[in-house]
Structure 1
Amino acid sequence: MSTQIAVRFQVGAGNGVPLFGRFSYDRADPYAVRAQFFAHDAVLPTWCFDRQMLAEGLHRPVGEGDVTFRPQGEDGGRVVRIELRDSEGGQGAVLLVAASAVSGFLDETYAVTAPGDETVDVDGFLAELLARRYP
């Protein structure tokens, strides 16, 4: 399942540049949320977030390194601030997403896989991996 959400790419102290983000969830990878951002005709790299960390980012600052989330704005956060950095910790991007949109998307993911019901088919994963490696 996926949903498109309006995103603002924060540039300095200005209002930011409007983007769209396609947030996706697949029960086959129950701990992950994938987000792909679009600017005009350009498709930017896909990021993979931890679903629980995204949920916690609605209420408190979480994460370190490449990805961080924190509520921002009045009343505990009308938006979620997502900070993305490259793997060397260099230049990054700040994205602002309406907290209500993130919450709504997470509710849809919980309808697919409730928190705490996540499972990973380790045996199936190993069988698939070995089948590819040793045909």
Structure 2
Amino acid sequence: MLLSRVAALIAVRFEEPAGDGMPLHARLSYEREDPFAVRAKFLAGHEVIATWCFDRQMLAEGLHRPVGEGDVTFRPQWSAGGEAVRVELRDGGGCGAGAVLFVDAQALERFLDMTYAVIPAGAESVDVDAFLEELLAR
């Protein structure tokens, strides 16, 4: 049976500008229909406080080296809880406002391994004909 979707709930820590940390959760999801994207909903309790879409390859590379520019960057980092990935999110408006999150590296790696069971790394593709058909139908 082919998997078409995987999801995981991962604990993250939001770093406030004052240096205090606030625990959150990220609900990560990946779908065969959008093979390049990992979707993240950040939750405070049961409330979704932000939603982002990340490039799966960039997220995987962020486990090992700094990647990204602009609105989203990832880099490996040691934190009080162990090895983590530092995720910096900016609003894109040029004012520098945004958030810094720390995601447990092992939990993120386990989630990415689940995504590779859906579509292996490097095997992603886009159905260009279907994309153009949908685009022209609008």
Counterparts in 2 of 1:1-135, with a 5 A limit? 1-11=6-16, 12-14=18-20, 16-73=21-78, 78-89=83-94, 90-131=96-137, 133=138
Structure 1 residue ranges (4+ consecutive) displaced by more than 2 angstroms after TM superposition: 128-131
- Share of identical aligned residues, percent? 65
Task: Compute the RMSD of aligned alpha carbons.
Answer: 1.4
TM-score normalised by structure 1 residue count: 0.89
The amino acid that maps onto 1:113 is I
Letter in 2 for 1:52: Q
Q: Distance in 1 between matches of 2:97 and 2:61?
A: 24
1:8-67, CA deviations, whole angstroms, 9 ceiling, x for partnerless residues?
A: 1012323x1111100110111111111010113431221011101100100111111100
Structure with the bigger RCO (C-alpha within 8 Å, sep 6+) is 2
Could you list the runs of 5+ residues in structure 1 that have no partner in the other structure? none
Shift of 1:129: 2.6
Structure-2-length-normalised TM-score: 0.88
The structure where strand makes up a greater share of residues is 2
- Structure 2 unmatched ranges of 5 or more: 1-5
